[in-house]
């Protein structure tokens, strides 16, 4: 359920794309999901999916030895939470961001599965200044209470 | 991430706690691989895990495969509620022997 | 205990200066303080002080009816956590940011007290582009474990 | 913020829970001022408060002053650990009657 209006920004987090920063992302995302008063299982799912997307930036966006930032924008579009994650690394073909077949025994390749299993919509946008990659993930929440500020 | 390693009879029990994420899973990997090298039976107690991601899951799978190569066993026990969901998403129940409790895993 | 190096950035959060965003700030700050492994009482104190500073931006930085953003940068300087909070509103004299006498019965004026009681250092910096206000708060943590990445 | 209002004899007990912050303290204010208008004795149960800030504190002080103006009483009970520290910073123990438990406050 999306509206025609541009979604409302909850917050924008910029952070060095490093493994030790992911817990900061989780802290923020947890608080953002809680703002929408959904149940705890959904909260955990959304935090996992966003973390996995950020992990991909940490692990894949920049060549080894090169430091770079990630930027996570969190928006609310009615009862849909929208996450826009961007990096400033080399452009990646959107097909790289589609999960392959899930192999329970594999040593990698699970991240994209988690993201696609959990989120309602996942897509690539073009960053406004044309550099880097911008992944958009949308998740409809089912608030227990009434959704607030649904304007 | 916290950890505690105990020896119970011929089983090495590794209890992991807190966050097993991209930052901490290299440490979990080190502990698990050392344990499967030293011991034919390893039981990983996951009751204290508050968060685990795909890198944590990959670490467990790698340890299992290493154990099997050496004809050892690695099993999981007491999967915490937040880890349970990730195991479900990863279809890990098809890969691991999962015990409800550590006691059951030792039996 | 500060070092000569420029402190390392943990994260930068930009958010609309509205009361309902403060829980996002607390979620992020809680995670940042936890990263430094200090005790829970100190964690709560730091979260309160940063929240109070953000409240001041929400309540005082912009004229009624005008929307504006706040930006919180979190840095680590050895075992000192540094918070730089900026707004984009009219410039305020630094003397406004010093607490008056604490009156237990008063209906306001507590925020600055909490900030100064909790933080080790509080000061005004000049924003790089000269507009708005930039408050810096520093707090030395006493990590239970060894401080990580103290470079 | 959660709240629950009960009447115990001639005392109105307002239990506040969760976060009493800049966003939610207007609601707390509304509840407290209505209670002190309706009832001569109000007891605020703070055991469920996970977070309270200067605006929450100000709300409690305002409710107390309103109660006194009307020759009523407002007391606090069961201050949660996280609220305790804020009360200390604000020197609220000099302002309020604070009971260890709700039962004590009713006595
Ligand atoms: N920001 C990014 N920059 C470059 N490549 C990316 C980015 N995000 C994802 N990828 C690609 O997506 C894949 C991520 O797959 P994933 O399912 O998360 O598992 P794994 O990382 O374990 O292979 C990587 O192989 C990489 O090629
Ligand atoms: N970003 C800001 N912009 C304008 N004024 C500010 C800002 N931050 C703080 N102030 C000033 O500081 C004071 C905040 O005092 P404080 O102790 O927090 O309590 P209160 O807000 O209840 O008066 C305000 O009165 C205001 O004048």
In this prediction, residue C148 carries a pLDDT of 39
- Band of the pLDDT at B100, cuts 50, 70, 90? very high
Is the Cβ–Cβ distance between A145 and D1 less than 8 Å?
A: no
pLDDT tens for chain D, 107 residues long, are 999 999 999 999 999 999 999 999 999 999 999 999 999 999 999 999 999 999 999 999 999 999 999 999 999 999 999 999 999 999 998 899 999 999 999 98
Q: What is the pLDDT of residues C123-149, one digit of tens each?
A: 999 998 889 999 999 999 986 654 433
Give the three-class secondary structure for D46: strand
Q: Which residue of C has its CA nearest to A13?
A: C13
What integer best gives the mean pLDDT of chain B?
97
Query: Which candidate in D50, D53, D85 is best for mutational testing of the C interface (most C CBs within 10 A)?
Result: D53
Query: Which candidate in C57, C103, C104 is best for mutational testing of the D interface (most D CBs within 10 A)?
Result: C104
Secondary-structure class of domain A8-98+108-140 per CATH: alpha beta
Please give the distance, rounded to the nearest whole angstrom, from the Cα atom of residue C34 to the centre of ligand 1.
28
Q: What is the pLDDT of residues C34-84, one digit of tens each?
A: 998 889 999 999 999 999 999 999 999 999 999 999 999 999 999 999 999
- Band of the pLDDT at C150, cuts 50, 70, 90? very low
In this prediction, residue A30 carries a pLDDT of 98
Please give the distance, rounded to the nearest whole angstrom, from the Cα atom of residue C60 to the centre of ligand 2.
6
Q: How far apart are CA B33 and CA B12, in angstroms?
A: 12
Q: What is the mean pLDDT of residues B60-66?
A: 98
Going from the C-alpha of D80 to that of each of C136, D18, D101, the distances in angstroms are 30, 11, 10
Q: Which residues of chain A have pLDDT under 50?
A: 1-3, 146-151
Asked if residue C62 has its Cβ within 6 Å of ligand 2, the reply is: no
In this prediction, residue C4 carries a pLDDT of 58
Site to probe by mutation for ligand 1, drawn from A55, A87, A112, A124 as the one with most ligand atoms within 8 Å of Cβ, is A112
Q: What is the pLDDT of residues C95-130, one digit of tens each?
A: 888 898 888 899 999 999 999 999 999 999 999 888
Q: How far apart are CA A81 and CA A76, in angstroms?
A: 5
Residue nearest to atom 3 of ligand 1 (CA): A61
For the sheet containing B11-20, what is the strand order? B2-8, B11-20, B41-52, B73-77, B98-99
In this prediction, residue C146 carries a pLDDT of 45
Beta bridge partners of B52: B20
In this prediction, residue C144 carries a pLDDT of 62
Q: How far apart are CA C88 and CA D56, in angstroms?
A: 26
Q: What is the mean pLDDT of residues C12-26?
A: 98
CB contact under 8 A, A23 and C16: no
In this prediction, residue C147 carries a pLDDT of 41
What's the CATH code, domain D2-106?
Answer: 3.30.750.24
Q: How far apart are CA C86 and CA C132, in angstroms?
A: 7
Q: Is C43 on the interface with D (CB under 8 A)?
A: no
Give the DSSP H/E element, type plus range, for residue B106. helix B102-106
Closest ligand 2 atom to the C-alpha of C89?
A: 3
In this prediction, residue A144 carries a pLDDT of 62
In this prediction, residue A143 carries a pLDDT of 64
Please give the distance, rounded to the nearest whole angstrom, from the Cα atom of residue A60 to the centre of ligand 1.
6
Query: Which candidate in D22, D68, D90 is best for mutational testing of the C interface (most C CBs within 10 A)?
Result: D22
Site to probe by mutation for ligand 1, drawn from A69, A96, A100, A124 as the one with most ligand atoms within 8 Å of Cβ, is A96
End-to-end CA distance of chain A: 13
Closest ligand 2 atom to the C-alpha of C113?
A: 17
The residue extents of the domains of chain B are: 2-106
Q: How far apart are CA B101 and CA B103, in angstroms?
A: 5
Between strands A121-125 and A133-140, the pairing is antiparallel
Asked if residue C132 has its Cβ within 6 Å of ligand 2, the reply is: no
In this prediction, residue A50 carries a pLDDT of 98
Q: How far apart are CA A140 and CA A38, in angstroms?
A: 10
């Amino acid at each position: 359920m999306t509206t025609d209006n541009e979604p409302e920004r909850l917050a924008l987090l910029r952070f060095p794309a490093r493994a030790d920063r992911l817990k900061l992302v989780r802290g923020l995302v947890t608080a953002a999901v809680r703002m929408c008063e959904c149940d705890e299982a959904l909260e955990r799912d959304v935090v996992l999916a966003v973390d996995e997307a950020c992990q991909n930036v940490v692990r894949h966006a920049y060549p080894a030895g090169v430091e770079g930032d990630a930027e996570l924008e969190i928006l609310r579009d009615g009862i849909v939470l929208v996450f826009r994650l961007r990096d400033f690394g080399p452009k990646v073909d959107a097909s790289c961001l589609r999960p392959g077949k899930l192999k329970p025994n594999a040593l990698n390749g699970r991240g994209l599965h988690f993201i696609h299993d959990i989120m309602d919509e996942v897509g690539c946008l073009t960053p406004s200044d044309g550099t880097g990659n911008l992944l958009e993930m949308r998740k409809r929440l089912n608030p227990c209470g009434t959704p607030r500020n649904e304007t | 991430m916290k950890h505690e390693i105990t020896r119970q009879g011929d089983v090495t029990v590794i209890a992991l706690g807190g966050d097993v994420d991209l930052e901490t899973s290299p440490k979990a990997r080190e502990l698990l691989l050392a344990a499967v090298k030293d011991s034919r039976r390893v039981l990983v107690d996951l009751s204290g895990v508050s968060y685990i991601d795909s890198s944590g899951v990959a670490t467990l799978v790698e340890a299992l495969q290493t154990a099997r190569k050496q004809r050892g066993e690695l099993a999981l026990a007491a999967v915490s509620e937040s880890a349970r969901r990730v195991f479900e998403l990863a279809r890990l129940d098809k890969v691991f022997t999962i015990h409800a409790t550590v006691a059951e895993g030792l039996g």
